[in-house]
Structure 1
Amino acid sequence: MSNPTSSTNGDPAVAYESYGSDDRNQRGSGRYIVGLALSAGLAGLLYGYDTVSISGAIDFLQTKYSLSPALQGMVISSIMIGGVIGAGFSGFLSDRYGRRKLLMFGAAFFFVAALWSAFTFSPVTLILARIIGGVGIGLAAALAVTYITESAPTNIRGALTSAYQLLTISGIFLTNVINYFIASSGSHDWGVNIGWRWMLGIGAIPAAIFFGALWFSPESPRFLVQAGKVGEGFKVLERINGTEKARRDVEEIQNQIAEEQKANAQFSDLFKPGLRKALLIGIFLAIFNQAIGMNAISYYGPVMFKDMGFGGNTEFLASSCVGGIELVFTVVGMYLIDTAGRKKLMAVGSGLMVVFALGISFAYANNYQLLMLIFVMCFTSAFAFSMGPIPWIMIPELFPTYLRGRATGICTVFLWATNWAIGQFTPVMISSIGGMGTFLVFAGTNLLCFLGVVTFVPETKDKTLEEIAELWKPKSEQSSAQLEVVRATADLRQAEADIKAAEAELARARRAKEHAIATKAAAEALVAAQKQR
C-alpha cells in the first residue's frame, strides 16, 4: 500500500488502487467523529452565548446610557453587521485556505471582542467591539456546519450536524442561568456599573475552549481530497468510517471532482439553471431561520417578560425556563432528523409556530402573564426541532464540494442580514405596534415559511452529499446513466467488502473449529491415558 500521505491528485482509479492493495481493514471510530462534531459545534456555543448575554445586559445598558429604542436595537444588532462581513468572506476564504483555519480565526476574533466588550465605556465602542465579535461568529457559524457535514457518515449526518444547534441552545440556556446569577449577585446599581461587564466578558472562555479544540482537530476530509491531498483525506475518512468505506468515499469524491473538471466547473455555475435552484432554496432556509421570530424572544425575552409584569429578576428565570425547553426539544430534533426527515420536521414545526405566535399575540393583548410564558415555551419547542437546527444542516448539504464553502457563505450572509433586521427592528415594532402586533407579523412569516417548505424544499435524508449534488444536474439520459454507473460502482465495492468480511469470518470460524477439534482430541487422549493408569 502506498504511503497514505502521498497525493494521487485526480484519477479515482489511481486513488482506489493506492488504498486498496493492503489487507488491513481498520474500523471507524464513533467517538472520533462525535469529537470532531463537538469541536466544530462549539462555534454554536459562542453564537448562543452572545445571543443571550446581550439580552441580559441590555436593560442595564439602557439605564446606564439612556438608550433610545433605535440605539438599543443597534447595540444588539451590531454583531450581525460583523456577521454579514464574516459570512461573506468565509466561503471564499475557506475554499482556498481550508475550513479549520478559518474556524480558528473566528474563535480568536470572538475572544478579543468579548474582552473588549467588557471594558468599553460608551455605546459607540461597545458597538465596535460587537462588530468585531460578529466577524468571528460570521466566519465560524457556516463553516462549523460545513465542516461537520463534510466529515460525518451519511446515516448520522443530520444528528451530528445538529451538534452545532445543540451547543447553540446549550449556550443560550447556560447564559440565561449565568445572567440570572449575575443579576442576583448585587443591587441594580451594581448591575448597571459592573454586572453587565461580567455578562459580556465571560464569552472569552468558550472562545478559548473552541480555539483549543480546533487546534487538535484535522482539516475536513472532503476539502483535503478536493485540494489534492488525497492521502490526508483518506486517513481522516478511515478513522471516521473504517478502511473499506473510506476507500469508497475517496473514489466517490474523486469521481465527482473528475466530472466537475470535465465540465469546467466554476463559481458562476451557482447562478445557472440547476444549482441556481439549490442556491434559492438555501437562501430561503437562511432567511426563514431568522424571520420566524425566535431571536426576537432570545434577544428581548427578559425585557418582554419584564414589560408583562415579571419582576425581582424573575424575568431572567422565565428566560432560563424557555432556554431549558429549547435544549430539551433540540435533543428531540437530533433523534428525529435522520428518521422522520428534514422536510417533514420543518413543515410540522413552522405550522405549529403559526398557532403559537397567534397565542403569544393573544396573551399580549390580554396581559395574561402565565399564558404568554406557556405559548413562548411552546413556540420555542416547535422551533427547536425544526426551523432552528435544520436550515443549518441542509444548507451545506445542498451544494457540491467545490462550491460548498462559497455557496454556504452566501446563504449565511442572508441569514445574518435577517438576524440583524430582527435585532434592530424588534424594539421599534414593539414600541410602535405593541407585542400583539409584533407576533401577528411573526405568525404571518411562519405561514410563508410553512408554504415554502411544503412547496419546493427537497428531502435530503439518507442521501450522500454526492447524490444530493446530482439532484441539480440536467436530467438527461446520459447524466442519469452516469449516476447509475457511480451508484453501481459503489454497490459493487460494498458487495466486495461484504464478501471479504464474510470470507474473513468464515476463515476465523474454520480456525476455531480446527482448534476445538484439536482440543477435543487432546482431551480424549488425556482421558484415555488416565484410564490406562
Structure 2
Amino acid sequence: MAPAKHRGTLNIGFQLMTTLGILAANLINYGTSKMKGGIGWRISLGLAAAPAAIIATGSLFLPDTPNSLIERGYEKEAHAMLCRIRGTHDVQPEFNDLKSASEDSRAVKHPWRNILQRHHRPQLVMAIFIPFFQQLTGINAIMFYAPVLFKTIGFGSDASLMSAVMTGLVNVFATLVSIFTVDRLGRRKLLLRGGAQMLVCQIIVGTLIAAKFGTSGEGRMSRLYAGAVVTFICVYVAGFAWSWGPLGWLVPSEIFPLEIRSAGQSITVSVNMLFTFVVAQIFLTLLCRLKFGLFYFFGGWMIAMTVFISFFLPETKGVPIEEMVQVWRSHWFWRRFFEEENDIRQPESIRVTNGNSGDNSGGRDRRV
C-alpha cells in the first residue's frame, strides 16, 4: 500500500513497533521481578494476552489492500481503496499497473515452481540469505539472553535486567534513525555501515571479555570495565536496529514480483523463524564452549554478510515494485540470469506489434 518514495519509512514502522514491544517486555520483566511470592514470571507471561487481544480486535478493522481486492475480482472497490490511500482520484496509471500485474500473477498456476525459474534466481537467493544472515548477526542471542549475558560478565540479577532495558531503549531510538534515513541514504548504505559498526563492536566486546575472563570463563570486572562492555553492546544493538534489523524485512518485502510474492515472502519468514530458533537453542552452549570467542564467531558472519551485500544487493530505494525487475537486469552479476529471458518468457506471453500490419490498432501492442 505504501507509495514507492515512502515505502522504506512506512515498512520500518513494523520494526519500530517490534522494538517497542521488546522494550515493554523488558520493563515488565524488570517490574515483575520485584514481586514477592514468586508470581512475577506468571504475570509476565500472562500479560502477553494483552497485545494478542489488540491484534485480534484490530484485524476486524483492517482494510484490504488494492492488490488483494483486484486479485479477488473487486476492481471497483480496489480503485476506491487506491484513491483513499493515495489521497487523490488521479490514480488510473497506477491502477492499470496493478491490474496488469494481477493478470500476470493469475497466469502463474504454480508460484512455488515458478520461483525456481532462472529469471527469479536473484530474488530467491535474497529470500534465503538475507533472513539467514540477519539471525547470524547474533542480535537475537543478545536480546533473548541479555540478562544472562550481563549477569555472566559481573552484573547482579537486578542490574542485568536493567541492562536489558537499556539495550531495549537503544533499539527503539536507533530504529527511528533508520526510519528517517532509509529512503534518503538507501538500503545498501545502511546495511554496509551497520555491518561495519556491528563488526567493530563484536571484536571490541570479545576482546574486553577475553582480557578479564580468558579461556577459563572466570574473573571479575570493575564497575567501570563492565560499563564499557555494556556501552559497546549498546552501540552494537544500535547498529543492528538501524540496518539489518528493519532492512532484513524491508528488502525481501519489496523485491518480489506479484506472481511469486506469496512464495517468496513465505520463504523469507520461514528461514528467519528457523534460524531464530536455531540461534536461541545453541546460544548458551556456544557461550559456555566458546566464551569470548562467541563474539568473534558472530563477527566472522558479519564480515561474510557485509561482503555479500556489497557485491550482490542492488539499491532498491524509490523503485516501484512492479518495475523492480529492471534493477536485477542492470546488476553486474544478476543480469546474466536474464540473458535468455526471451526464450524463458516467450511461451507465457508473445508481443505482436501491429504498427505496420495494416489494421486499425493505431500502432498499439497486443498480447497474444
- TM-score (ref. length: structure 1): 0.58
Kept in 2, the 8 Å contact 1:282–1:398? The answer is: no
1:405 corresponds to which residue? 262
Distance 2:325 2:45 in 1: 41
1:417 paired with 2:274, answer: yes
- Alignment deviations for residues 344-379 of structure 1 (CA, whole Å, 9 cap, x no partner): 100110111111011111122134311210110010
Q: Distance in 1 between matches of 2:59 and 2:105?
A: 30
Task: Report Cα offsets for 1:386-409 as digits up to 9, x if no partner.
Answer: 000001011121111232122111
State how far apart, in whole Å, the 1-side matches of 2:275 and 2:14 are: 20
Q: Distance in 1 between matches of 2:188 and 2:13?
A: 19
Q: CA deviation at 1:261?
A: 5.5
Give 2:239's aligned residue.
Answer: 382
What residue identity is the alignment partner of 2:55? Answer: F
Q: Counterpart amino acid of 2:112?
A: F
Q: Residue type of the partner of 1:152?
A: A
Amino acid at match of 1:463: V
Deviations 1:60-112 (A, max 9, x none): xxxxxxxxxxxxxxxxxxxxxxxxxxxxxxxxxxxxxxxxxxxxxxxxxxxxx
How far apart are 1:242 and its partner, in Å? Answer: 3.0
Cα distance in 2 for partners of 1:321, 1:245 equals: 47
What is the one-letter code of the residue matched to 2:310? V
Note if contact 1:230-1:250 (Cα within 8 Å) is conserved in structure 2: no
The letter for the 2-side match of 1:369 is A
- After superposition, the Cα gap between the structure-2 partners of 1:244 and 1:365, relative to the gap in structure 1 and judged at 3 Å, is same
Report the 3-state secondary structure (helix = DSSP H, G, I; strand = E; otherwise coil) of the residue aligned with 2:200: helix
Structure 2 residue aligned with 1:441: 297
2:14 equivalent in structure 1: 164
CA 1:177–1:211 in structure 2 vs 1: closer, same or farther (change >3 Å)?
same
Q: In structure 1, the residue corresponding to 2:64 is in which secondary structure? A: coil
Shift of 1:166: 0.1
Partner of 1:309, secondary structure, is: coil
Cα separation, 1, equivalents of 2:33 and 2:106: 58
CA RMSD of aligned residues (A): 2.3
Structure of higher CA gyration radius: 1
Report how far residue 245 of structure 1 moved: 4.4
Confirm whether residue 239 of structure 1 aligns to residue 84 of structure 2.
yes
Kept in 1, the 8 Å contact 2:115–2:263? The answer is no
Partner residue in 1 for 2:253: 396
Question: Which of 97, 101, 105 pairs up with 1:256?
Answer: 101
Q: Is the 8 A contact 1:275 1:472 kept in 2?
A: no
State how far apart, in whole Å, the 1-side matches of 2:147 and 2:235 are. 17
Distance 1:392 1:355 in 2: 24
Give the Cα separation in 1 of the matches to 2:117 and 2:341. 20
1:96-495 to structure 2, matched below 5 A, reads 151-186=1-36, 190-191=37-38, 194-260=39-105, 266-367=111-212, 368-434=225-291, 436-471=292-327, 474=338
Matches within 5 A, 1:59-98: none
Count, aligned residues: 326
Q: How many Å separate the matches in 1 of 2:105 and 2:61?
A: 32
Distance 2:274 2:123 in 1: 20
For residues 202 and 178 of structure 2, the distance between their equivalents in structure 1, rounded to whole angstroms, comes to 20
Deviation at 1:228, TM superposition (A): 2.1
Are the equivalent residues in 2 in contact too, given 1:176–1:323 (CA < 8 A)? yes
2:151·2:157 contact (CA, 8 Å) conserved in 1?
no
Distance in 2, Cα, partners of 1:262 & 1:376: 50
Paired with 2:73 and 2:310, the residues of 1 have a C-alpha distance of: 39
Determine what percentage of the aligned residue pairs are the same residue: 29
Deviating above 6 A after TM superposition, structure 1's stretches of 4 or more consecutive aligned residues are 262-265, 476-479
The whole-number CA distance in structure 2 between the counterparts of 1:344 and 1:245 is 34
- Closer/same/farther in 2, CA of residues 311 and 264 from structure 1, 3 Å limit: closer
Partners of 2:105 and 2:45 in 1: CA distance: 46
Q: Residue 305 of structure 1 contacts residue 315 of structure 1 at CA under 8 Å; is this kept in 2? A: yes
CA contact (8 A) 1:226 1:401 kept: no
Q: Which stretches in structure 2 are left out of the alignment for 5+ residues?
A: 213-224, 330-337, 351-368
Shift of 1:430: 0.8
- Whether contact under 8 Å (1:363, 1:369) holds in the other structure is no
For residues 156 and 261 of structure 2, the distance between their equivalents in structure 1, rounded to whole angstroms, comes to: 47
Q: Retained in 2: the 8 A contact 1:277–1:472?
A: yes
Checking the alignment, whether the CA contact within 8 Å between 1:325 and 1:380 is kept in structure 2 is: yes
1:297 aligned partner, one-letter code: I
Note the C-alpha offset of 1:206. Answer: 0.6
More displaced 10-residue stretch of structure 1: 345-354 or 223-232: 223-232
> Given that residues 182 and 199 in structure 1 are in contact (C-alpha distance below 8 angstroms), is that contact kept between their aligned partners in structure 2?
yes
Is the partner of 1:313 in helix, strand or coil? helix
- State the 1:259 CA deviation: 4.2
CA distance in 1, matches of 2:107, 2:278: 42
Q: CA deviation at 1:469?
A: 3.8
Query: CA contact under 8 A between 1:400 and 1:469: conserved in structure 2?
Result: yes
SS in 1 for 2:59: helix
Asked whether the equivalents of residues 270 and 407 of structure 1 are also in contact (C-alpha less than 8 Å), the reply is yes
Greater helix proportion:
1
* Deviation, structure 1 residue 254: 1.5
Q: Mind listing any 5+ residue stretches in structure 1 that lack a counterpart? A: 1-150, 483-533
Contact 1:274 1:472 in 2 (8 A): no
SS at match of 1:157: helix
Deviations 1:425-446 (A, max 9, x none): 0000111121x11111010011
